[in-house]
Amino acid sequence: MKHIEHGFEKRLFSSRWLLAPFYVGLIIAVLLLLLRFFEDLILLVPQVFSLDESTLVLKVLTLVDLCLMANLLVIIVFSSYESFVSRVDIKNQQERPSWLGRVGFSSLKVKVISSIAAISAIELLKVYLDINNYSHTQVLWMVIIFSVFVIAGVLFALMDRMSSGQSKKDS
């Protein structure tokens, strides 16, 4: 019976590798964001002197938005891979990001919600800069949604801080 249990546990543990294709898919999504970033940048360059300041800021904020989303995906991929699949073995330790291996699942949630709140803030800023093209109701809903992200981020951070404080007490 112990032999069956050991075999089952070995297969169960190996099943973590089923997550790897998800991470490959997210890296492909980063490549798609990169393509969109350069498309937007290339289209922006010839217009830079003909655009008014607020339109230029809107277009640059779109680039920032794409960059934040790409950063978020990379953080998710690496920290999830290290948490659930396998440790990333980098020969040149100087290339290893300082956060790699230290971002646990709870702090990953805080980083994700913080990034979403930042992306939402950029979207809200875009609306503010182009306020005449939005109805009062649309703006109100965007502010509500942004507020929910911020509140959720604060609550996640507080829960993370409380649970890390509790785990220090328990040890």
- Token duo for residue 42: 């290339």
Residues 42 and 5 sit within 8 Å (Cβ to Cβ): no
pLDDT tens digit sequence for 106-141: 677 777 888 888 888 888 888 888 888 889 999 999
- Cα–Cα dist 130/124, whole Å: 10
85 exposure class (CB count in 10 Å sphere: 0-12, 13-18, 19+): middle
SS3 track for the chain: CHHHHHHHHHHHHHHHHHHHHHHHHHHHHHHHHHHHHHHHHHHHHHHCCCCCHHHHHHHHHHHHHHHHHHHHHHHHHHHHHHHHCCCCCCCCHHHCCCCCCCCCHHHHHHHHHHHHHHHHHHHHHHHHHCHHHCCHHHHHHHHHHHHHHHHHHHHHHHHHHHHHHHHHHHC
Neighbour tally for 88: CB within 10 Å: 13
Q: Where are the domains of the chain?
A: 1-103, 104-171
- Cα–Cα dist 66/126, whole Å: 14
Q: How confident is the model at residue 87 (pLDDT cuts 50, 70, 90)?
A: confident
pLDDT tens digit sequence for 136-154: 999 999 999 999 989 988 8
Q: How confident is the model at residue 99 (pLDDT cuts 50, 70, 90)?
A: low
Q: Which of 17-26, 29-38, 99-108 has the lowest mean pLDDT?
A: 99-108
| Alpha-carbon distance values, 44 to 51, 96, 101, 127, 137 (Å) | 9, 34, 38, 19, 31
Residues 73 and 29 sit within 8 Å (Cβ to Cβ): yes
Residue type at position 70? A
- Cα–Cα dist 114/71, whole Å: 12
